[in-house]
Amino acid sequence: MEISRTVLSAAIAFAITGCAVSPDGTEAPGPQNTQACVATSEADIASLFDRWNSSLQTGNPREVAANYAENSVLLATLSNKPRVTREEQIDYFEHFLVNKPSGKINSRTIKIDCNTAIDIGLYTFTLGKTGQEVKARYTFTYKWDGRQWLITTQHSSFMPEKE
């Protein structure tokens, strides 16, 4: 069974934004589309990394995990295991924070949609415990929950050795 590109695009848009979208790509009316889009900017979304990075500095894994939405997914740089529960995310950060990490964005692209945003780019972590620098690619997706922006997915992976 072949799915048309229009229907597939609408399904992807719905999955990403959580808003109802008709097959022609426009917002569909109806009771499922009751949340207004919150006004935001690239600077607002960029500051979410700073909030997350500051929470790393506390050394408290629960404070870091508070940046993540319920049912979020963490695909961390230093773990092969997807972290899909709050407890698994806390467990990852308990081990990661021992290294005293501090992140710095090297380059980024931010995309904003209705109550969702994506921050994609390259960053470097300095591990304060050893002084080692870890260069990685990242993607943070965020969703407005009616009160604040929370991470819904984070993917981070080492830079490949060759370009």
Instruction: Let me know: does 156 contact 76? Beta carbons within 8 Å.
Output: yes
Q: Is 26 helix (H, G, I), strand (E, B) or coil?
A: coil
The helix (run of H) or strand (run of E) holding residue 110 is strand 101-113
Q: Is residue 11 a contact partner of residue 28, using CB atoms and an 8 Å limit? A: no
Tell me the CA distances in angstroms from 131 to 78, 124, 137, 161, one per residue in order.
16, 12, 19, 20
Q: Minimal CA–CA distance to 142: which of 13, 17, 10?
A: 17
**pLDDT tens, position by position, for the chain (163 residues)?**
444 444 334 434 444 444 444 444 455 544 455 679 999 999 999 999 999 999 999 999 999 999 999 999 999 999 999 999 999 999 999 999 999 999 999 999 999 999 999 999 999 999 999 999 999 999 999 999 999 999 999 999 999 876 5
| Beta pairing partners, 25 | none
Contact 67, 150 (CB under 8 A): yes
Rounded distance between C-alpha atoms, residue 115 and residue 24, angstroms: 20
Q: Would the pTM of this model clear 0.85, i.e. be above it?
A: no
